[in-house]
């Protein structure tokens, strides 16, 4: 078992003919993900990667022809909101947006619309997700994680790779690793993932990697205290970040005294979560 993606995932790649789209499609195929279609308006009817994946002009046409049930977006930030709307209107229930730099007001409209249609979005500005040995939907390097019983959820990209790699080095593996992204307004949040991991029979423990900005970690702490039976280990990045400065991620900012790492650590520890001092400490806290 796993969450969100597995062997039954039939993936549509929006923006498949671009540099990133093409490169990562190749990587996902090599991992074993069923990439069934791609879109690029104007290039419908073509095939990419030596005839492995058909290209369509629209999501609607791609879904009708291939039965795609998940989409991943690699288009530029300017066009990403439209790509999300298109996928949702084509009836795709789960959309992953890798694109960084989407305007926040666009995201507010996207979230409102998707919530009304009950479509799940992961991201934007995220590395996607990986169910080791089953499906890779995104850009997480496939070789840094092995299958196991730990659910991983994170706001970061490369920091998550560090953690997966540290787990692998001691022989620990993941059920699914989900990167929810570093933007202030996104699709899937910590609580969504914690709740799915709680319900997933194969997941026995959960690692949650947070960072400064917002109050999602504090809310997650409340959820853990009231709803979760499985142990959670955490790490929060940004102990040394100065207030008022955006630390790379659009959402990583301490504003008006709120969103500090210290507050988040305190809330998590109060909820019985073991919080690591640095990422390489996580495997020992899971034992």
Partner 1 sequence: MKLHEYQSKQIFAKYGIPIPKGRVAATATEARQIAEELGGRVVVKSQVLVGGRGKAGGIRLARSAKEAEEVATQILSMEIKGLPVRKVLVDSAANIEQEIYLGITNDRAARRPVFMASAAGGVEIEEVARTNPEKIIKVHIDPLLGLRDYQARDIAIGIDLPKEYWKQFGDICRGLWRAYMECDATLAEINPLVILKEKSLMALDGKMLVDDNALFRHPDLAEMRDVDEEDVAETEARKYGLSFIKLDGNIGCMVNGAGLAMTTMDIVKLFGGEPANFLDIGGGAGADKVAAAMRIILSDKNVKAILFNVFGGITRCDEVAKGILVALKEVKPTIPMVVRLVGTNAEEGRKLLADAHMITAETLADAAKKSVAAAKA
* Among the listed residues 1, 30, 49, 108, the single contact to partner 1 using CB under 8 A: 108
The footprint of partner 1 on residues 45-104 (CB under 8 A) is 77-78, 101-104
**Paired tokens of 169:** 């080095």
**Paired tokens of 160:** 């998550």
* Among the listed residues 29, 165, 191, 202, the single contact to partner 1 using CB under 8 A: 165
**Paired tokens of 88:** 């949702």
Whether 24 is catalytic: no
Work out how close the CB of 113 gets to partner 1 at its nearest, in angstroms, rounded to a whole number.
7
Of 24, 168, 205, 249, the active-site residue reads: 249
In this structure, how many other beta carbons lie within 10 angstroms of the beta carbon of residue 93?
Answer: 13
In the bound state with partner 1, the residue whose beta carbon lies nearer, of 43 and 219, is: 219
**Paired tokens of 70:** 């998940």
In this structure, how many other beta carbons lie within 10 angstroms of the beta carbon of residue 15?
Answer: 24
Report helix, strand or coil for 143: helix
- Total residues in contact with partner 1, by rule CB under 8 A: 59
Report if residue 154 touches partner 1, rule: CB under 8 A: yes
Distance CA 172, CA 80 (A): 35
Report helix, strand or coil for 216: helix
Distance CA 136, CA 140 (A): 8
* Among the listed residues 3, 62, 185, 267, the single contact to partner 1 using CB under 8 A: 185
Residues carrying an active site annotation: 249
- Residues interacting with partner 1, by CB under 8 A? 20, 77-78, 101-109, 111-113, 127, 139-141, 144, 154-162, 165, 182, 184-185, 209, 211-212, 214-215, 219, 235, 237-242, 245, 247-252, 256, 261, 277-280
């Amino acid at each position: 078992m796993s969450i969100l993606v597995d062997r039954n995932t039939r993936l549509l790649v929006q923006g498949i003919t671009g540099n990133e789209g093409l490169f990562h499609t190749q990587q996902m195929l090599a991992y074993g993900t069923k990439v069934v279609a791609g879109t690029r308006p104007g290039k419908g009817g073509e095939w990419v990667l030596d005839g492995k994946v058909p290209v369509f002009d629209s999501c609607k046409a791609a879904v009708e022809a291939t039965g795609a049930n998940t989409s991943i977006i690699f288009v530029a930030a300017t066009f990403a909101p439209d790509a999300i709307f298109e996928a949702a209107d084509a009836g795709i229930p789960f959309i992953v947006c890798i694109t960084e730099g989407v305007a926040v007001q666009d995201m507010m409209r996207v979230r409102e619309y998707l919530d009304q249609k009950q479509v799940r979005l992961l991201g934007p500005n995220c590395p996607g997700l990986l169910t080791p040995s089953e499906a890779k939907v995104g850009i997480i390097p496939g070789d840094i994680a092995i299958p196991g019983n730990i659910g991983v959820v994170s706001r970061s990209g490369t920091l998550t790779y560090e953690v997966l790699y540290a787990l692998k080095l001691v022989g620990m593996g993941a059920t699914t690793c989900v990167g929810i992204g570093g933007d202030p307004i996104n699709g899937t949040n910590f609580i969504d993932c914690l709740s799915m991991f709680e319900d997933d029979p194969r997941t026995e423990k959960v690692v949650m990697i947070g960072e400064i900005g917002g109050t999602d970690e504090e809310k997650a702490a409340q959820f853990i205290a009231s709803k979760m039976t499985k142990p959670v280990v955490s790490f929060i990045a940004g102990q040394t970040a100065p207030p008022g400065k955006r630390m790379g991620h659009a959402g990583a900012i301490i504003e008006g005294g709120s969103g500090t790492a210290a507050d988040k650590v305190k809330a998590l520890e109060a909820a019985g979560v073991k919080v690591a001092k640095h990422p390489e400490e996580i495997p020992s806290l899971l034992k």
